[in-house]
Structure 1
């Protein structure tokens, strides 16, 4: 089978990496196209994954529209030569257009519904993760989070050797701050923490622990000393070993929750219209705290740091979550290898997905080391 995977964000490198490695080992051929978004290229290079460079999506809305057309052309040209049997992406607008033009099936994974209106008539199948509230003829619901494609215990094994590396403290006595860029297509009218709020957050938290920052946008000069210096592909080990994550972003909040690290999330999405996955992580599992007000978020962060037993309690809570949710990568492999019969089976018997719950399946093969991937980009 020939599979074309589109990467539009660094988080999607993690989403698809184990799927790509495992499908390659099974003899399938894959072609990756990738946008130059934050550290996407750096991550792909670090994992030894070859890819077609689509360029930057741009920051302004006008640039995004113009660049999307240019990306469409590049994806279509590559696909015409590669001749894929199926397309895969996450909340992509480009890939469904190309798959429809080539009359090939396209599976779009989605968890936030922001771009659904732009591709709903084009994708053959939409896989909605926990929190995806839209229902439809071509939508199947996955009882899991996209982050469990790479942080499920079947695929991720925490590494404490990160402690003491670069500027990460040996004793793990540190907090991680994650700041989003807020220039994505779906972020119009939304906001995270302002610069003064970030500085206040840092002042309060460094009274109790070392502060490390990871940011989509370049840090201002006065905050650069807090920047994480370790390799980007080690960020999950850094989060796992941290005492706390405070962020105004989404993906990393879910990652920290899964890893059992207390999480405080603060942005203008929070409220009655917040994404359901964040509501579930807070109200059902008690793993994150969501705030619109930065002072309330800072107060909760300080409260967590003052309690030395919080990490132990969060590990117990994350174990409950892991027992509920399915292994996304193993599900993806089953869905693609058995498509379209698997799609119909999910529609008729959605409980079939629970064969991929922890303890209900054989442990899959470990992810392949870099370099064992059948992806050739030179002729595309």
Structure 2
């Protein structure tokens, strides 16, 4: 098979890494297209992955619309040149439009319900859409299927990932105190339009609460200078080794909250909008505590609640959760095969 993989975000680079490797080991041809957003290109480079950069991420509704038109056209030219049997992506806006224009099947994997505008201009044009069973958003009839799992399994599930303590220590982990990772986001993605994030008062209150812990902050946006001592200083591709040995994750990133859950690390996800997967990880597995407001008292209360539970309890909960999940890379490849086979019979 010839497979085009469109990578638009750092999390997508992680998601597709093992899938791309498995496809190539089978003898399939893979071409990767990329988008210059945050550390996406650096991650792909660190994986040794050759890729065609088609656009630089824009911000705001007008900027995103301009990028959409420009990138759709550039991707169409790549498809005309490489003639893939199928295109795959997370979110999938670019591949679905190009798929209609070129007659190439497109497969979308997604888990973000509140990206309502993106989904409205994407889902109707997709060949197939695969979402976690906990997905709470709209799916077009006859195109969507659900599975037991999360995107983060693709790169953090055994045997695809094994935490390395030496790497974690090099990234700032300390042996003698509990470690807490805080994640700040930039709120500039298409699914963030109209939303806002943490302010410094909220972060200051959290840091005071966690003063007896080793706190490390990773942020998409530059941090004010007074937080410099907390800044994550490891390589961007190594952060999951650090996360795996933390006592707690707190942050604005739903993706990292889910990553923590998969690794057996409890998390407090604090944002005004939620996700189906973090809801399931809270109600079904009690690995995530969702705080739906930017109120510091609610956030601090959630942090205290989590730290009051023995660490080993969260590891046991994670094992229970993972026992019922799909092997994500194998699942994705099976769906690629199904779509390509179905299209070849037409």
Give me the TM-score of the superposition, normalised by structure 2. 0.92
> Aligned equivalents of 1:249 and 1:192: distance in 2?
10
SS in 2 for 1:121: helix
> Aligned equivalents of 1:20 and 1:166: distance in 2?
27
* Matched-pair contact (CA < 8 Å) for 1:163–1:171: no
Q: Deviations over 1:23-79 (max 9, x none)?
A: 011111111111111110111011001111123221222111112222112211222
Identify the residue that residue 212 of structure 1 maps to in structure 2. 216
* Matched-pair contact (CA < 8 Å) for 1:111–1:130: no
* Matched-pair contact (CA < 8 Å) for 2:35–2:56: yes
Structure 2, unmatched stretches of 5+, are: none
* Matched-pair contact (CA < 8 Å) for 1:243–1:261: yes
Match of 1:151 among 153, 156, 172: 156
Shift of 1:340: 4.6
Identify the residue that residue 248 of structure 1 maps to in structure 2. 252
Identify the residue that residue 300 of structure 2 maps to in structure 1. 298
> Aligned equivalents of 2:111 and 2:302: distance in 1?
27
Shift of 1:275: 2.5
Highest RCO, 1 vs 2 (Cα 8 Å, sep ≥ 6): 1
Match of 2:226 among 198, 222, 225: 222
> Aligned equivalents of 1:43 and 1:79: distance in 2?
23
Runs of 4+ in 1 over 6 A off after TM superposition: none
Match of 1:239 among 238, 243, 247: 243
Answer with 274-283 or 41-50: which moved more. Answer: 274-283
* Matched-pair contact (CA < 8 Å) for 1:112–1:131: no
* Matched-pair contact (CA < 8 Å) for 2:169–2:242: no
Distance 1:331 1:278, change over 3 A: same
Answer with 96-105 or 195-204: which moved more. Answer: 195-204
Answer with 133-142 or 242-251: which moved more. Answer: 133-142
1:314 aligns with 2:317: no
Give me the TM-score of the superposition, normalised by structure 1. 0.84
> Aligned equivalents of 2:314 and 2:302: distance in 1?
15
Answer with 239-248 or 53-62: which moved more. Answer: 53-62
CA RMSD of aligned residues (A): 1.7
Answer with 53-62 or 224-233: which moved more. Answer: 53-62
Identify the residue that residue 56 of structure 1 maps to in structure 2. 56
Q: 1:157-168 maps to which residues of 2 (within 5 A)? A: 157-168=162-173
1:130 aligns with 2:110: no
